[in-house]
Structure 1
Amino acid sequence: MMPEEVLELLEVSSENIVTQDVAENVEYYLLENIEFGGEKTSQLALNFMDTAGAVGLVEIYAYYPENTDMEKVKKEMKRIYGDSIPEVYEYGRSSISPEQIQEDVIKESETVKVWGGPKLSQVLEEEAFSQYRELRFPSPMEMQEETWERFRENARLVTGEWVNLPGEGGKAVHFDGYNLAVYKKVADGKGE
């Protein structure tokens, strides 16, 4: 979805926009006091980037006030996305070094719930994965094939997290669709 469409869907007024900017091919918005997941956020960050020739939403960070009923947010996420899963692997936008991808394993607990779409290995054949990894990590990477295979087996098109921890910033929701954006470029033949 284009930024204007998402902002309209969320019923964002100019008073809700704290920051709007573009950096490193990512257009981002920092919003405040927007309802998301059935509760009012303190801040909502939206990241958009070119996905297959059109700017589209690739990442959402929603931060909630300390007194938010996060069980209500979790219930809404379960209604939309189904049951949570035991863990997801998240990967950074770039490499830590030419040989290593940034990888974080997020495990389900009482205070963290995770959701994930299909794994790359479920949607990309070996030949298409070669093109995918060139688009996903544009700087030269000299990783061993085992590392690439681990990425292909664990990375998902979309991930979602629900977090309910005490303290400021501890109540949050995060969605990452960057892998889906790159996948669309490959699937649409626009990654060439």
Structure 2
Amino acid sequence: MKKNINEEFPIIFSENEKTGKSIQEHLDKFSIIQRENPYSRSSLFHHIQNFIKTQEIKLRASCNRKILRKKKKMYNLIEKTIQKKMSPCYEKAAKVTGKGSFIKMQKILTETIESLKDEMFSEVKDEVLEGFRTLKLYIKDYLESELNKSIELFLLTTNTTLLDVSREIEVLEKLSLAV
């Protein structure tokens, strides 16, 4: 189990390599600033974009630290699940004493591992997949809420009037309902 996970985790949690599956790669691609912005010539929008880009960089760094902690938790799920499943077997093997006890303990452990390996693998797989689902939602929610806070802070601290885009928002909402 660990061998397979040790092959996949570096691909998914790679910080430097381009794997196409790396969380870091996808996080680096994330930006709410569109490259082709017709308003980017405006000084106001230039400052807004710079502010948002700076906030995105800070959020990515913070998010990376949080992802690392969650990665460690997911990785440790393997050992915890196996220990939990094997605990009764360990207790049973620990009670064996006398001549040939080592061989008997080995047999108990081997038989238990053999009988529980599919169940343990399935349980670990489910827990790790749930960890990935939770991580994905966490990243989305974290970035969304923190960027909203940053934008609100920016709007509160600047004394500017922005374009009225309410009509465009209504059109987008109608289009999203039609889909």
Q: Please give the TM-score of this superposition, normalised by the length of structure 2.
A: 0.21
Higher strand share: 1
